[in-house]
Amino acid sequence: MSKRQMLMLADVQSVENTCKTDPACPFVAFEKSKNTFGFTLAANGEVVIYTFSMGDDYPDNTVLTYSHCPDQPLLIHERIPTFFNTISPKYWKNPKCVNPLPRVGIQEPDETTDFWLNEDSPSSDMDVNIPANEDGDDTNDSDYDDDGEDDNDVDEDYYNTDGEDIPEYFSDEDEQVKMHPLLAHDIEQVKQLAGNQAISYRMFDALGDIDIDLQLDVSFLQDLIAKAWCLNREQPLVVRLHCSLSKYLDENSPQVSVFQSSKSNQPGVCSQMKKITESFLLGHWKSLTNKAVLAHLKSREKSPSKTCQRDGHRNHSNTSRGRTLTIPISFSRSSSSMSQSPSSESPSPVSPDSSSKKFGKKMFPWQPWQRSSSTGHSPPSPGKEELHLIPAATQDQKQAKQIPSLEHGFLWQMYGYLKNRIPNLSEFCVVCDEPHIFQNGAMLKPAVCERELCVFSFQMLGVMQDAAENIATGAEVVDLLVSMVLAAVKSRRRQLILDPFPSVVDPKSSKELAFSPKKKNFDRLESTLDKFSSMTDMLAAGSVTDMKKQMDRMDFMAYPLLQWIISSNRSHIVKLPTNKQIRFMHTPHQFLLLSSTPSKEIAFRKAKQEHGSIFAFHGSNIENWHSILRHGLINASGTKHQMHGAAYGKGIYLSPHSSVSFGYSGMGHGIHQPVKKLPPVQEPKKSACRFLQSKNLRCIALCEVISSKELNRHGHVWVCCNPDHVCTRFFFVYEDGKVGDQGVDTTQDKYTKDILSAMADWRTL
């Protein structure tokens, strides 16, 4: 039996024994099995059943369910007695199991402790004693030890209620916490450089383990981006490393978990960050030893210039939620933009000097300056079969994988690397963590790239499915996505515009792709799409299993293709409820449409503060939107994707006048001619149908555009040559040739007010 299992059994037994000693205890009906523990609360006329489901990593990732809301489980990361102590005072006296194990809890180092390593510091274990109180007695800083009782008495009450023997692993030999000096130093460095809130830890000295929580701030994300990623921007993203307390780098690579404490169902971004962290550890942990890193740090400490530099960092550290990081690492522009401006006294980013190169060459061959340019890692060259798939990396993307120096310890290096990855997560495949092969760079939603190995891994092995799943795709949005790909495959230009072409594994032969970009079978794809069930029938199926069976009867490739259509969408689309729709657009099919990555939105907001912004329409045929949602709006002038003339130069064509964009939206090809007359505006019928009923569709997007010199205005036609200065905001669909109000001019205040009002409702969607 492992130590964690023994700890779990001891915790369960102690809670049960404590309750059974008092006949008046409202907690009754204890039930336990190998991995579950439950009890019933009968008090104040209510009966609630609590059930704990525990795993091998107890006390982490314990799932708690309540009988009154079984569909809303709670994920907790604390021991059962600790949780029990939070709920029991409301219904019962304070139980004696307030401190299950004084030596196990969140331990903070004494602020007066000198964590820097002197010449006599051993490279093995270091004893970090519990701080003494004012009376000189050794106490634990846990909030639980308030009654002043002797620690041994508390342990005896807790684990020996019925006279049973105290478990062997809680022996008196564990009264002192042993932490490796390098680990203590690394923790202190993160606190000094990023603030106390950037890192916390919990020591399990009886187990010889420690949980280190790196707290990554995500408050820089816009509300809608955070919602698209299913994150709570008010809480940090926690990267937990479970490693050896005394051996640190000399032990096996740490176990990793990534979560937000407020989320019972962890978002896909957590899975992606976990994979990134594990890959980082896999490549770097084995290359390091405590002895080598200690020697490296000591050598830098002997240098007066390095000492002054380090002291300067400590003097300028910021504790305001870690937003301003005066740190010697080269964060990307997007990462640094999310913080307040650093102090003018802040040191410049550290470049690898001769001494770091000297040590890096011998001990740290994986350091970025040994293999890549100063701008960051260059992704591995694609194989010969993928030479046409060249990623269009942004500058932020190039810097995203840059690894900070080891100058301030391994934890600080990892903290900086992970923090730098967040703004650009969606620019990388969730399976291989290589830049997406889409030619126009990054989009908002995490997704799997088109590399065949990643497609097989994702569809057949389920690798990273929780990271790329479209969690909250509404039925109306699925209906829209299917309509777009169907229009593309039926177009005369399908060879060009059906991009990306589906990559779907054959369910009857898992070693082959039924649909492949390298062997495009448009007729087979069109045949499968034509056999799709209607959205009404899909919803009527009742369950995913029944829906799959229903679609399999029509075509065995239908359901896998539907999965690809949903998961390949990289834009955030939400159907606007009726009371939040833009009135002058006169269609019930209105959607919020966001496609920019956090880094692009940050750059957009910065440009907006400098130049201001304005709204304009972009019209394009329905057949083009399958590609636009996955590639973004691009400057197609002079390329094979250009549909219309470029009379006003190269760039993205926009217009403040709806009539102009409606004209573009109804044209499949050719040169645009000004629209002389459009059908009159018709109010949408008051229909209960949620879905599109026609295949004759027109679509236009409402975009926000930076009012800079890069926006060339030619009357009713505007051209923006900088794609980063155009962000989609809303999307409108019209059926059977109908259009909205042709007199809309977004430069007029009456229309701008309605648009801004709709944007203000984003947070409630």
DSSP states of 51-119 as a string?
A: EEE--TTTTTTEEEEETTEEEEEEEE-S-HHHHHHHHGGGTSPPPSTT-S-TTEEE----TT---S--T
Q: What CA–CA distance (Å, rounded) separates 25 from 87?
A: 13
Q: Which of 519, 542, 567 is the last residue of a domain?
A: 567
203 close to 177: Cβ distance less than 8 angstroms: yes
Question: Out of 502-516, 627-641, 655-669, 709-723, which region has the weakest mean confidence (pLDDT)?
Answer: 627-641
Which residues are 730's β-sheet partners? Answer: 592, 702
- Asked whether residue 9 is domain-assigned, the answer is yes
E strand segments, 245-391 = 255-259
CATH number (domain holding residue 696): 3.90.228.10
Which residues are 237's β-sheet partners? Answer: 216
Q: Is the pLDDT of residue 218 over 70?
A: yes
Q: Is the pLDDT of residue 716 over 70?
A: yes
> Higher confidence at residue 29 or residue 543?
29
Which pLDDT score, from 0 to 100, does residue 598 have?
78
Label residue 646 by pLDDT band (50, 70, 90).
low
Quick one: how far is CA 740 from the chain centroid? 37
277/421 same-domain check: yes
User: What is the per-residue pLDDT across 63-107, written as a single tens digit (0 to 9) for each?
Assistant: 888 877 777 778 888 888 888 888 888 777 655 554 444 433 334
Q: How far apart are the first and last CA of the chain?
A: 49
- Asked whether residue 659 is domain-assigned, the answer is yes
3-class secondary structure, 151: helix
In sequence order, what are the residues at sequence separation of 6 or more whose Cβ sits closer than 8 angstroms to the Cβ of residue 358?
none
Q: Which of 392, 426, 441 is the last residue of a domain?
A: 441
> Higher confidence at residue 184 or residue 450?
184
Which pLDDT score, from 0 to 100, does residue 618 have?
95
Which residues are 32's β-sheet partners? Answer: 37
- Asked whether residue 155 is domain-assigned, the answer is no
Which pLDDT score, from 0 to 100, does residue 15 have?
86
136 close to 182: Cβ distance less than 8 angstroms: no
Structural domain range at position 227:
107-126+176-441
355/402 same-domain check: yes
585/710 same-domain check: yes
User: What is the per-residue pLDDT across 369-407, written as a single tens digit (0 to 9) for each?
Assistant: 333 333 334 433 333 333 223 333 344 555 667 888 888
User: What is the per-residue pLDDT across 298-343, written as a single tens digit (0 to 9) for each?
Assistant: 777 666 554 444 444 433 333 333 332 322 333 333 333 333 333 3
Length of the chain counted residue by residue: 765
Which pLDDT score, from 0 to 100, does residue 733 have?
94
- Radius of gyration of the chain from its Cα atoms, rounded to whole angstroms: 30
Mean pLDDT, the chain, whole residue set: 72
Pairing of strands 504-506, 509-515: antiparallel
431/350 same-domain check: yes
552/590 same-domain check: no
Average pLDDT over residues 105-120: 40
User: What is the per-residue pLDDT across 532-573, written as a single tens digit (0 to 9) for each?
Assistant: 988 888 878 877 788 888 899 999 999 889 988 988 887 888
Domain count for the chain? 4
509/648 same-domain check: no
Which pLDDT score, from 0 to 100, does residue 301 have?
67
Phi–psi pair at 553, nearest 5 degrees: -65, -30
* Residue 11, both tokens: 């915790």
Which pLDDT score, from 0 to 100, does residue 460 have?
53
Q: Assign residue 601 a region: left if phi > 0, alpha if psi is -120 to 50, beta otherwise?
A: alpha
Question: Out of 185-194, 334-343, 514-523, 642-651, which region has the weakest mean confidence (pLDDT)?
Answer: 334-343
In sequence order, what are the residues at sequence separation of 6 or more whose Cβ sits closer than 8 angstroms to the Cβ of residue 756?
none
Compute the Cα dihedral for 428, 444, 565, 764 and give only its sign: positive
- Asked whether residue 525 is domain-assigned, the answer is yes
Q: Which of 567, 594, 618 is the last residue of a domain?
A: 567
409/494 same-domain check: no
Q: Is the pLDDT of residue 172 over 70?
A: no
Residue ranges in 98-235 assigned as alpha helix (H): 151-159, 181-194, 223-228
Average pLDDT over residues 19-24: 79
* Residue 148, both tokens: 């002043």
521 close to 581: Cβ distance less than 8 angstroms: no
Q: Is the pTM of this model over 0.75?
A: no
> Higher confidence at residue 140 or residue 96?
96
Q: Which amino acid is at 337?
A: S
Q: Is the pLDDT of residue 490 over 50?
A: yes
Closest CA to 145 of 177, 103, 186: 103
> Higher confidence at residue 448 or residue 500?
500
Average pLDDT over residues 7-28: 84
Q: Is the pLDDT of residue 150 over 70?
A: no
Q: Is the pLDDT of residue 474 over 60?
A: yes
* Residue 35, both tokens: 């991995």
Q: What CA–CA distance (Å, rounded) separates 304 from 310?
A: 10
Q: Is the pLDDT of residue 109 over 90?
A: no
Q: Exposure pattern of 285-306 as b/e (b: 16+ CB <10 Å)?
A: beebebebbbebbeebeeeeeb
Q: Which amino acid is at 566?
A: I
345/288 same-domain check: yes
Q: Cis omega before residue 342 (within 30°)?
A: no
Average pLDDT over residues 590-599: 85
Q: Is the pLDDT of residue 523 over 80?
A: yes
Q: What CA–CA distance (Å, rounded) separates 397 from 744?
A: 38
304/351 same-domain check: yes
Q: What CA–CA distance (Å, rounded) separates 625 from 234?
A: 34
Consecutive H or E run containing 44:
none
83/10 same-domain check: yes
677/719 same-domain check: yes
Average pLDDT over residues 247-264: 87
DSSP 723: G
Which pLDDT score, from 0 to 100, does residue 350 have?
32
